[in-house]
Amino acid sequence: MFVLKLLVHYFIPHESNNQKAKVLHPKSLGLIAIFLIAFQFVVSLGNTSFPQVLGYAANIVPSEVVRQTNAQRSAVGLSPLTENSDLSSAAIAKGNDMLAKGYWAHFAPDGTSPWTFFTQFGYKYQYAGENLARDFSDVSSAINAWMSSPTHKENILNPHYKEIGIGVVEGSLAGANTTIIVQFFGTSLSGSPSVPVAKAKETMIVSNESPKPIAQVSTPVPLPLQTSGVEAVTGVTKFTSSPFSFTKNLSLAVVGILLLVLSIDLAVVRRKRIARIGGRTLAHISYLGMILAVILILKAGQII
């Protein structure tokens, strides 16, 4: 009986809550916002301090990155890129280099360029390019982020590229577990077809000069939902889910509950013809929604 009264008090307009569900009161919405912010802070702190317990697991499959990249090219009439094992090995090496040296950039602190990894694995390029992404929970969100950036999009839709290599690495970067996607594009010198000049649509200039990588500002992008799992690592139970996903799933659940309560509240008020003064429920929920959106954007993946 007590539990039922408590549920009515918090979720149904009633005499006990001045004819407005308690969770829709300004003070309650403020406390919910504070809780979500604190929850994000605790989860992020736990991920940094105890990466062996709370890890970042992303559903990033290299072959899917290639497939979705080619889907974007096909949509504008470009030929698909062929996955090259040397480029993939080079991309993995670049990702591991970032983790080992603790940097998130096209060029390493010691001056190592992306093109160094091309040549290390025997890939002599005519054209070369690089896209980087981190902390995305699935392939679609990373591809969408790249396609939303003009310079990254230019790499994906560059007609000069013929091959692609994808490296996906997971590890600790700047004290936090992360997943990095390295996308290498290239056209090899040896793979350049010999086309009669009369039939060529453009002149392809072969050069051994290192091309410049695309440099951009990191662009936060919201992430889709991600499932969680449990993995046993050396006797320790490790929850293989993104800290971001914890916050997003909780935030979406809270918003869903509030919208449901709001619907019930409006229905009850209309049916009982309850007169309320100063009801700003919609404004309060919009304010909470804005706070949640800020939390999600700040914790979204990055591209450079």
pLDDT digits (tens, 9 = 90+) for 152-186: 999 999 999 999 999 999 988 877 778 999 999 99
Are 259 and 272 spatial neighbours (Cβ–Cβ below 8 Å)? no
pLDDT of residue 223: 30
Find the helix or strand (DSSP H, E) in which 55 lies. Answer: strand 54-55
Sort 171 into a burial class: Cβ within 10 Å, 0-12 / 13-18 / 19+: middle
Q: What is the pLDDT of residues 251-270, one digit of tens each?
A: 777 777 877 887 888 788 77
Q: What is the pLDDT of residues 9-67, one digit of tens each?
A: 888 887 787 777 888 777 887 787 788 777 767 765 655 554 443 344 567 899 999 99
User: How far is the CA of 191 from the CAs of 13, 162, 266, in angstroms?
Assistant: 72, 9, 67
**HSE-CB for 34 with a 13 A CA cutoff:** 6
Instruction: Report the Cα–Cα distance between both ends of the chain, in Å, rounded.
Output: 57
**Rg (the chain; Cα; Å):** 25
Across 134-170, b (16+ Cβ under 10 Å) vs e yields: bbbbbbebbbebbeebeebeebbbeeebbbbbbbbbb
pTM as predicted = 0.61
Ramachandran area for residue 94 (φ above 0: left; ψ -120 to 50: alpha; else beta): alpha
Find the helix or strand (DSSP H, E) in which 29 lies. Answer: helix 26-49
